[in-house]
Amino acid sequence: MSMMKRWHMALVVVVSLLVLAGAYLFVQARSIEVEKLSEDLFVLRGFGGNTAVLRTDLGAVVVDTMTLPLQGERIRAIARELTGSETIMIINTHYHLDHTHGNPAFEPGTRVLSTERTLSHLNVLDRGFWSEDSAALLPNETFTDRHTLSVGGKTIDLIHPGPGHTDGDLVVVFKDEQTIHMGDLLFNHHYPNIDLEAGGTVTGWPSTLQNVLNLDFDRVLPGHGATTDRAGIVQFQTFLEQLAETGRQAVANSWNLDQTLANAPLTADEGYEPIVFIVSLGLDRTFVITRTWEEATGNFKRLN
Ligand SMILES: [Zn+2]
């Protein structure tokens, strides 16, 4: 075989592999599983944060929209199938792209709710995505601490219980279903992202969870992981308290990062798994201890 032919064949193989990989990613990204929690409340699971869909007499309410506009299209279609009507309201629990980048697939003019801090983070920390057409699906109804909604016969409380994952997260209380969606204030048996740059905090997170535990509910949707209950929040709170203790010991003993990783008094993460989408996203034990050490020693910079 001539050199040229061999090169050509290699190129064909590489291009074919790339096309296959692209098709695989496309199929993976489009695949969404539905869990029915009650007659009117559903959880959608796919690449990104967990989405909730609530049926009301006026239309569907969607909480978080995953990672890609093409997923937003799927969520919109599934919400229509499940509820028999269009989406009239989106609630974004916080600004991260795996909870918001599906927004642009919805009808411009849809009510989009978030905290003021989340809108600020979207505009400052993710400005590239939210320019031009996408800007029509930015939050257009914001609040600081608490916002109560009556929508088509359902009552929904939106509560900012304090800082943790970022400084702008909200909890959605579906009053009629005795269920809350906690966004990324709760990772269920997964290591959490801790966004110090956007006001997240390990030390403040446990008391924020206490504020959530003081609310009235039975069932709990985490931002990532399986549906759980109060005990799931308490378990994650214990994990965060141990992390916060790690930070205190690091400062008290002047540990560098390696010493902190080696000596961290962290046991409540038994059974925790790093989140994987085809490959690990890097949210593991080393990551959370590193972030804790950075917060405790001031080795990070607030970006907004
Ligand atoms: Zn997040």
Instruction: Report pLDDT digits (tens) over 205-226.
Output: 999 999 999 999 999 999 999 9
Which residues lie below 8 Å from residue 208, measured CB to CB, with a gap of 6+? Answer: 161, 162, 163, 164, 185
* pLDDT value at residue 1: 65
Instruction: Output the CA 169–ligand 1 centroid distance in Å.
Output: 9
Which range among 29-33, 175-179, 184-188 shows the weakest confidence by mean pLDDT? 29-33
User: Within a domain: residue 239?
Assistant: no
Instruction: Output the CA 194–ligand 1 centroid distance in Å.
Output: 8
User: Within a domain: residue 244?
Assistant: no
Q: What is the mean pLDDT of the chain?
A: 95
Instruction: Output the CA 74–ligand 1 centroid distance in Å.
Output: 21
Looking up residue 61, the CATH number of its domain turns out to be 3.60.15.10
Give, for 149, the enclosing helix (H) or strand (E): strand 146-151
What is the DSSP pairing of strand 171-174 with strand 111-115? unpaired
Quick one: average pLDDT of 42-66? 97
Instruction: Output the CA 51–ligand 1 centroid distance in Å.
Output: 13
What is this structure's pTM?
Answer: 0.92
Quick one: average pLDDT of 81-99? 98
Place 28 in a pLDDT band, splitting at 50, 70 and 90: confident
Place 26 in a pLDDT band, splitting at 50, 70 and 90: confident
CA triplet 190, 229, 213: central angle to 5 degrees?
95
Cβ 251 vs Cβ 296: under 8 Å: yes
CA separation for the pair 94, 115 (Å, rounded):
8
Number of domains in the chain: 1
Instruction: Output the CA 287–ligand 1 centroid distance in Å.
Output: 15
User: Within a domain: residue 296?
Assistant: no
User: Within a domain: residue 148?
Assistant: yes
User: Within a domain: residue 119?
Assistant: yes
Instruction: Output the CA 251–ligand 1 centroid distance in Å.
Output: 27
Instruction: Output the CA 221–ligand 1 centroid distance in Å.
Output: 14
Give backbone dihedrals phi and psi of 42, rounded to 5 degrees, phi first. -135, 150
Q: Does 132 score more than 90 pLDDT?
A: no
Quick one: average pLDDT of 44-67? 97
Instruction: Output the CA 24–ligand 1 centroid distance in Å.
Output: 25
User: Within a domain: residue 263?
Assistant: no
Tokens of 56: 């009301």
* pLDDT value at residue 210: 98
Instruction: Output the CA 64–ligand 1 centroid distance in Å.
Output: 11
User: Within a domain: residue 168?
Assistant: yes
Neighbours of ion ligand 1 (CB under 5 A): 96, 184
Instruction: Output the CA 223–ligand 1 centroid distance in Å.
Output: 7
| Domain carrying residue 127 | 31-230
Beta bridge partners of 45: 33
Max mean pLDDT range (23-37, 43-57, 275-289): 43-57
Quick one: average pLDDT of 118-127? 97
Instruction: Output the CA 99–ligand 1 centroid distance in Å.
Output: 7
Dihedral sign from CA coordinates of 98, 100, 106, 112: positive
User: Within a domain: residue 290?
Assistant: no
CA separation for the pair 260, 238 (Å, rounded):
19
Q: Does 130 score more than 90 pLDDT?
A: yes
- The DSSP line for 205-219 is HHHHHHHHHTS--SE
Q: 160: closest CA among 174, 179, 142?
A: 142
Higher pLDDT among residues 6 and 1, named by residue: 6
Quick one: average pLDDT of 237-252? 98
Instruction: Output the CA 193–ligand 1 centroid distance in Å.
Output: 6
302: amino acid identity, one letter: R
Instruction: Output the CA 196–ligand 1 centroid distance in Å.
Output: 12
